[in-house]
Chains A and B, each alone.
Chain A
Amino acid sequence: MDISTKKSDAPPPVSPPSETEQKRAARGVTRPGDRVFLGLSRGSGIFLLVIMAAIAAFLTYRSVIAISKDESNFLTTFEWNPTAVPPSFGIAVLVYGTVISSIIAMVIAVPIAVGIALFITHYAPRRLGGPLSYVIDLLAAVPSIVYGLWGALVLAPQLIGLFGWLDDYFGWTGILDWQGGAPRSLFTVGILLAIMILPIITSVSREVFRQAPQMHQEAALALGATRWEVIRMSVLPFGRSGVISASMLGLGRALGETMAVATVLSPSFEINASLLDPGGGTFAQNIASKFSEASEMGRDALIASGLVLFVITLLVNGGARMIIARRAEYSGANA
């Protein structure tokens, strides 16, 4: 067995996808069952497309109404006054807040989630692994309003010490300067979002790591590799696309998180240089906060901001798709 030729970065795919394609092409016969099944699955795909197209059309229509009435630049304005005469609103603050809080959340959550997934699949005693993964799944089920209540009542007061410490030692950077307000800033939101998306990233990563080919791991172990070397050489490369996909699911939730952010953040329509001072806002939080009292015009304006959230999510997902596509050879199937 010649492992050294394959070792460089990844375990070999189970088999090159091209073979199956050739086989499939060679098999000209289609049976009725096949046709029905293909029809069903294709129909589902088309159904999904139709719903999406309807939503997209609806959103675009309402957004165009709103933006055409907006007197200020929609992208760069620092205020939200759709009911003013003339209407004036912009999303600069929301873009900043959404991106920053999600970045903080991802930086904290992804490494920890991968750690937990590895812990469950490769480190924890087998008897502990099952219940643990169950507990983690359960935590994905905690409704966001409960995370919000917990964040505001339990987490935020705990963070006063941490904020003080960050301010003492890193206050000179400007971005970690703290004026001593209640710790309900974008940084707090980032931490809370990290906790909220941990379970979802962990669950998917865990499933993927579990699928890593056992033979490679055993082979590596047989050659005297330490456990970490086994993971680094055979588990992580195999799971990379899955982890990215999981992170994207998490990021999607972080970007769109509504109730928890609305409960924890102390929002305002201004951008603070410091991450620790209260203020800022995110798209979803802004929609939730303003929606119930909004007039028709106000609703359209909020929908327009929702459309931007869409586009941001799309860009993020597109990026992830590209990364995954480049590594498509690690996937077992031929998609």
Chain B
Amino acid sequence: MSQTVNDRRPSSLQGATLPKWSPYAIAAGSIALGLGISAAAGLDSKIQWGLMAAVFFVAASYGIAAKVEGKRQAKDRVATSLVWVAFLLAVIPLVSLIWETVKRGVKVLDVYFLTHSMGLVTDTEPGGGIYHAILGTLEQVGIATVISVPIGILTAIYLVEYGRGRLAQAVTFFVDVMTGIPSIVAGLFVLSFWIIILDMGYSGFAGAMALTILMLPVIVRSTEEMLKLVPNELREASLALGVPKWRTITKVVLPTSIGGITTGVMLAIARITGETAPVLLLVWGSTFINTDPFDGPQASLPMYIYQQYANSGGSGAAYDRAWAAALTLIAFVMILNLAARGIARWKAPKTGR
């Protein structure tokens, strides 16, 4: 760094700087240019003029800043604009996705839809609801979470805090393998062992077991990463005070990384909540309300979405229900996310950042 710092120092303390509004001006200019060229060349895709405008923006920022402020500042500006561009590029499809889901989903989404099951409503008829599916998903995901969060976090603790030797290597290896399990294969495994060999019958719990298999590696990997980031000084300080190691882990290491761990768990829940294939194989699906996850067929939201869509032909009552259920599923995970985030924030130690 010292080289860069020493190299070409401007004579005065404050070099020439571009006015604050310049990025906006450049942005406006490049969007106009992108639109102009698109119009001139007769291109009608929004993606194209967007990309063009982005390229112009980055190039213009560099050119202008290099001229006025010098190379280092120019690089900084390019980095800034690249980061902005990356952000905007990503936001466009994501916003479009949400927008489409909301637009198509609100048609049939109402209290009746949320509090009634499909019952005897056939797929071709309007009416019915997703209550049974919400209940099924809640229970299945809940069971999977209750099983896999402690096991996953403890495994990660083992790997980071204790892990040495063959066992740790084997666990690391198999966690990697597990991330690669196609979800349908996890479902098939549970189907063969639990339902066909042990003859336990289709149930929400069978689905929850497959979800656990899918959830575990995600939790282990992300928790591991977060625990590794806890500075060693903290551990050493605690150990030096005579605190036993397990207290150090539960009182110092875990609280420090709780934010990251929660994010990881949330991501894992998010991943399995949307799983269709294994659930389809294991919980069977039902149009009726079944509150007992351990006995009898249950429904689940992603499965409901999939089946309604697959039976709709792209329009009609089933199609509307599929989108409304998708919207509900997203909203459900969002609320869950918000709650967990709140808890993580309250529990996290104040770091002063």
Contacts and interface: CB of A to CB of B under 8 A. Distances in A.
- The answer to whether A and B belong to the same complex is yes
15 contacts: A7-B2, A17-B232, A42-B167, A114-B86, A115-B82, A118-B83, A142-B97, A150-B96, A227-B79, A259-B306, A287-B185, A310-B180, A332-B228, A333-B160, A333-B230
Contact of A14 (B93, B158, B232): B232
Contacts of B266: 137, 141
B68 interface: no
Nearest to B236: A20
B337 A41 contact: no
B334 to A, nearest CB: 5
B249 interface: yes
Interface in B186-214: 186, 188-189, 192-193, 213
Given A116-B87, A306-B182, A15 B232 contact: yes
Interface stretch (B24-32, B44-52, B111-119, B123-131): B44-52
A49 B228 CA distance: 22
Given A23-B236, A141-B273, A231-B79, A252 B180 contact: yes
A56 B116 CA distance: 41
B286 interface: no
Given A40-B154, A115-B83, A145-B274, A207 B260 contact: yes
B80 A56 contact: no
Interface of A: 3-4, 7, 14-15, 17, 19-20, 23, 27, 31, 33-34, 36-38, 40-49, 51-56, 58-59, 111-116, 118-119, 123, 134-135, 137-147, 149-150, 153-155, 158-162, 165, 195, 198-200, 202-204, 207-208, 210-211, 214, 220, 223-229, 231, 233, 242, 245, 248-249, 252-253, 255-256, 258-259, 283-284, 287-288, 291, 299, 303, 306, 309-310, 312-314, 317-318, 321, 331-335
B221 interface: yes
B333 A141 contact: yes
A245 B1 CA distance: 28
B176 A287 contact: no
B227 interface: yes
Contacts of B323: 149
B306 A146 contact: no
Interface residues on B, range: 35 or more
Most buried by A among B1, B2, B160, B326: B1
B226 interface: yes
A223 B232 contact: no
Nearest to B187: A291
B177 A314 contact: yes
A42 B158 contact: yes
A55 B93 contact: no
Q: Can you list the 5 inter-chain pairs with the closest CB atoms, starting with the nearest?
A: A313-B180, A161-B45, A115-B86, A143-B274, A141-B270
Interface string B164-185: 0001101110111111111111
A296 to B, nearest CB: 12
B80 A123 contact: yes
A222 to B, nearest CB: 11
Nearest to B352: A214
Contacts of A118: 83
* Chain B binding surface, main DSSP class: helix
Given A31-B244, A140-B267, A333-B160, A48 B232 contact: no
Contacts of A31: 244, 246
A165 B158 CA distance: 53
Given A45-B159, A48-B171, A335-B228, A229 B4 contact: yes
Contacts of A149: 309, 322-323, 326
Given A31-B246, A242-B225, 15 more contacts: A52-B174, A55-B181, A56-B177, A113-B86, A143-B329, A146-B274, A195-B93, A195-B97, A203-B267, A204-B222, A225-B5, A227-B79, A227-B80, A258-B277, A291-B184
B185 A146 contact: no
B180 A255 contact: yes
B247 interface: yes
A145 B305 contact: yes
Contact of A223 (B1, B44, B174, B309): B1
A248 B2 CA distance: 35
B229 interface: yes
B289 interface: no
A255 B183 CA distance: 11
A331 B167 contact: no
B330 A52 contact: no
B76 A140 contact: no
Nearest to A333: B228
Interface string B342-353: 000000000001
A134 B263 CA distance: 10
Given A36-B246, A165-B48, A314-B180, A306 B185 contact: yes
